[in-house]
């Protein structure tokens, strides 16, 4: 475990009314929406192909789409229910797949292994979590066959009105640590975790970076540029803390949250 300090001097914080509160009640009921949608355009670089038809049922975490160029790369259903409709645009482009949520949320069970890097890749691809890993340059979905120089995780968002990721970290610290441990096996370099000084997250084997300064201090690209800029021919990955928690949960419980 190593520690680094990054100080961002240029930037600006906009203090706007209506920012989320720094605390919340864990006992607050979760209100399930009537419908949820998967929008393939959110996954840059993926050419989507359907695995489900209208009227078919899906479990939470069950594959819904796959990538034409990498058929093992799945995009999973975020909730259990029935495929209500598939909305298409020009040239029959898939705009969104809408799921009508069921009252009882059943999660798909996966058999996963973290013994080798190949086992981890296979589990992340099958679960749909690989689609949330971004590759720099170009900020596209990471190429399944690539090995990144480093992996960067920013645990805070400095944009105006952004929610505090620290709330999630408090509730799922063990899953976050497990996710970071899993990701470390996929890179030849380091896993860098960017934190604010008042919310330092130490994970064995990872490099914790304390980042001070105004927005855009929370942007992964800014942290990369101030740590180890990407040179020609190199690739690095960026992952949001929610996805790291979900990766940890996958290899702990065998389901995707």
Q: Which pLDDT tens digit goes with each residue over 54-82?
A: 999 999 999 999 999 999 999 999 999 99
> Lowest-pLDDT range, 15-29, 52-66, 174-188?
15-29
Find out whether 60 and 80 touch, Cβ atoms under 8 Å: yes
Pull the structure tokens for residue 231: 């040179």
Find out whether 124 and 130 touch, Cβ atoms under 8 Å: yes
Average confidence (pLDDT) over 105-113: 94
Q: How many residues does the structure list for the chain? A: 257
**What's the pLDDT band for 147 if we cut at 50, 70, 90?**
very high
Between CA 4 and CA 157 the distance in angstroms is 19
Instruction: Provide the pLDDT for residue 202.
Output: 86
> Lowest-pLDDT range, 12-26, 130-144, 207-221?
12-26
Going along 40-188, which residue ranges are E strands?
48-50, 57-58, 63-67, 74-76, 81-88, 94-101, 134-136, 140-141, 151-154
Give every CB contact of residue 147 below 8 A, 6+ residues apart in sequence: 186, 187, 188
Between CA 257 and CA 255 the distance in angstroms is 6
Which strands, in side-by-side order, build the sheet including 81-88?
35-38, 94-101, 81-88, 57-58
Find out whether 23 and 49 touch, Cβ atoms under 8 Å: no
Average confidence (pLDDT) over 126-142: 97
Between CA 234 and CA 151 the distance in angstroms is 12
Share of the chain above pLDDT 70, in %: 97
């Amino acid at each position: 475990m190593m520690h680094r300090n990054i100080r961002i001097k240029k930037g600006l914080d906009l203090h706007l009314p209506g920012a989320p509160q720094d605390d919340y009640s864990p006992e607050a009921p979760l209100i399930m929406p009537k419908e949820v949608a998967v929008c393939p355009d959110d996954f840059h670089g993926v050419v989507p192909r359907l695995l489900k038809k209208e009227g078919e049922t899906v479990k939470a975490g069950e594959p819904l789409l796959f990538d034409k160029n990498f058929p093992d790369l799945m995009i999973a259903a975020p909730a259990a229910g029935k495929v209500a409709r598939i909305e298409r645009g020009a040239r029959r482009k898939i705009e969104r797949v809408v799921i009508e949520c069921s009252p009882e949320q059943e999660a798909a069970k996966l058999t996963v292994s973290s013994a080798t890097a190949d086992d981890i890749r296979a589990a992340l691809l099958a679960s749909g979590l690989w689609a949330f890993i971004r590759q720099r340059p170009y900020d596209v979905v990471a190429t399944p066959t690539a090995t990144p120089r480093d992996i960067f995780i920013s645990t805070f968002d400095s944009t105006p009105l952004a929610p505090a990721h620290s709330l999630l970290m408090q509730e799922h610290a063990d899953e976050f640590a497990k996710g970071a441990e899993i990701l470390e096996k996929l890179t030849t370099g380091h896993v860098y975790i960017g934190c604010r000084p008042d919310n330092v997250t130490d994970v064995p084997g990872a490099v914790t970076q304390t980042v001070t300064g105004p927005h855009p201090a929370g942007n992964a690209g800014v942290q990369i540029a101030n740590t180890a800029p990407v040179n020609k021919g190199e690739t690095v990955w960026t992952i949001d803390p929610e996805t790291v928690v979900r990766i940890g949960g996958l290899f702990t419980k065998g389901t995707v949250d």
